[in-house]
Amino acid sequence: MTLLEYINSEERSFFLPDMGTNGLFLTGYKAYEVYTDPNKQLELAKKMNETFETDFIYSLCDGAIFCETLGLDILKPDYDFPSVLSHPIVDIESLQRFEVSDPYKSGRMPVNLKSLELIATNIDKPLFVSIQGPFTLAVQLAGATHLLRCVIKDPEFVENLLEFTTETVRRYAVAVNKVGAKYISIAEPATVTLGPERFKKLVVPNLNRIYDELDCWKALHICGDTNFLLDLMLTCNVDALSLDQIMNYEEVMKRIPPNIVLLGNLDPLELLFNSNVDTIRLETIKLLKKMRKYDNYMCAFGCNCMNDTPVENLQAAIRAGRMSYEELDNIEV
C-alpha cells in the first residue's frame, strides 16, 4: 500500500504527529533514560499511543544521534532535545580524523535500532521516524557560518563533507528501514539558507542517494519559507512533503502533483502552545475544509512541538484532524 492509498483507506482525514519529546512528561523519564533503554522507548511509545490517538507510531525524536555518535560535545537537557556544542570539522584535514558511523556498532545507534524494532513489532501502526539530512548534519559538524562561507570559498571541503554526511545518513536510514520503519522523513532545515542552484547541486543528489535505497514511505521536511525551493524539492524521490506553518497551503497545493502527499501545517507555537482547545479545534477544522477537495493532503503539525505543549492542546488538534468527512462537511466555520 502506498502512503496515498493509506491516507485514503477510510472516509476521514488522517493525522501524522511530530511531537518530538512531548512523551517524556507522560512517563516521568528523562531523555537519556529513554534513549539508552529500548524497553523504556517501547513504554513511552505505548503511552503516547494511548494518549494521542493518531495514525502513526513513533519513538522519542533523536535528532542529535549522528553528532553524538561522532563524539561531538552535546548539551543533554533532561526533557528536551540534545544539541551540539562544538563544530570540530572545519577543513579536509579535520574531516579525515572522523570515520563514517556503522549503525550496528557505533555509539548508541545499535540501541536505538533495537528500540525501533521493539516499537515496530509491538504496536500495530506504521512506524514514523524523522532523521536529520546530510546538509543539516554538515552544518552541525562545521558550524553554519563556516560552512556557508566554505560553500563559496572552499567548495572542495564542502563536497568532501557532504559525501561523508550523506554516507552517514544513508547507512543509518537503511538500517532504520530494515528494523521496521514504515515512514522515514528526512529533515533538512538548514538548506533553506541556500539558493536554488546550490540546493540543486548540494542537496537534491545527496537526498536521492538515500531515498533510492529505502523501501518505505519517504518524506522531506524543510522549515521556513520554501516557495523558492518547492519545485526542486519535488525532484527528490519522495512520497510526501512537509512544510512550515508560514506556507499558504491553498497556494502550495496547486504546485503539488496528485501522487505526492502534502502534510501540515498547524502552527506548533502560536496555535498549539499559546492557544486553547477551542481555538485549536476551530483552526484545524478551517485548514481541513480548505484542503478537503485534495485526496493527497494529510493533517499534521508544521514542525516539532514545544516539549511542554499542553497535552489537551495536542489532543484537540489530533482529534479534529482525524474527523470523519461526514462530520467535517456538516460543520460551518
- The pLDDT tens digits for 219-257 are 999 999 999 999 999 999 999 999 999 999 999 999 999
Closest Cα partner for 304 from 7, 6, 8, 22?
22
Residue 59's pLDDT is 86
Closest Cα partner for 86 from 145, 134, 139, 141?
141
CA distances from 115 to 58, 60, 64, 245, 291 (A): 10, 10, 16, 31, 36
List pLDDT tens digits, range 180-208.
999 999 999 999 999 999 999 999 999 99
Coil/strand/helix, residue 275: coil
Side-chain half-sphere of 328: how many Cα atoms within 13 Å?
Answer: 23
- Beta bridge pairs of residue 58: 128
Q: Give pTM, 2 decimals.
A: 0.95
Give me the number of domains the chain comprises: 1
Residue 20, pLDDT > 80, answer: no
Domain of 19 in residue numbering reads as 3-330
Cis omega (within 30 of 0) for bond into 39: no
CA distances from 87 to 70, 74, 157, 263 (A): 11, 11, 15, 33
- Beta bridge pairs of residue 131: 186
List helix spans (H) across 179-216. 196-202, 204-211
The CATH number linked to 150 is 3.20.20.210
Residue 125, pLDDT > 90, answer: yes
